[in-house]
Structure 1
Amino acid sequence: MDYELTPKLLPGTILEVTERDVKVTLKGRMGIIQVPLRSVISDHALQVGQTIQVYLSYIQVV
């Protein structure tokens, strides 16, 4: 199966920040994700309530 995987830019809001990860709720009923801090690009300290943007694509099983 050959599909073109094109990432979509989705807005969200930070729900929780810990010493190792950040929990984010995505708008549009897309759910909640939790990612390591090393995966977040920011020039400022992360705070609960900040607006974020994340690129998502489909999962491809290989």
Structure 2
Amino acid sequence: MEINADVRPIKGKIIELTERDVKIEFYGRMGMLRVPLRMLICGKHPEVGDEVELKMSYVILKSNGR
């Protein structure tokens, strides 16, 4: 079995901001995600329209035919 782990950046923009979380819409029809403000790593307070990037990792398993 071959295992390929890959990390890809997924970019989007903030479309909604509340006092506790942000709603992010990802480019390329990748969907939306709502995350708590404490999960953001940034140098300034986020605003609607700011571009963001999420590092997503996934694993692809390839079997040898067994």
Q: Same fold (TM over 0.5)?
A: yes
Q: Which amino acid aligns with 2:24?
A: V
Is the aligned partner of 1:39 residue 2:39?
Answer: yes
1:58 Cα offset (Å): 3.4
Give the structure-1-normalised TM-score.
0.80
Change (3 A) 1:6 1:47: same
Give the structure-2-normalised TM-score.
0.76
What is residue 24 of structure 1 aligned with on the other side? Answer: 24
**C-alpha distance after superposition, 1:41-60 (max 9, x if no partner):** 0111111011111111338x
Unmatched 5+ stretches in structure 2: 60-66
Choose between structure 1 and 2 for higher RCO, CA contacts under 8 A separated by at least 6 residues.
2
Bigger fraction of residues in strand: 2
Unmatched 5+ stretches in structure 1: none
Considering only CA atoms, is the larger Rg found in Structure 1 or Structure 2?
2
Report the RMSD for the aligned CA atoms in angstroms: 1.8
Change (3 A) 1:6 1:46: same
Rounded Cα–Cα distance in structure 2 between residues aligned with 1:43 and 1:19:
17
Give the aligned length. 59
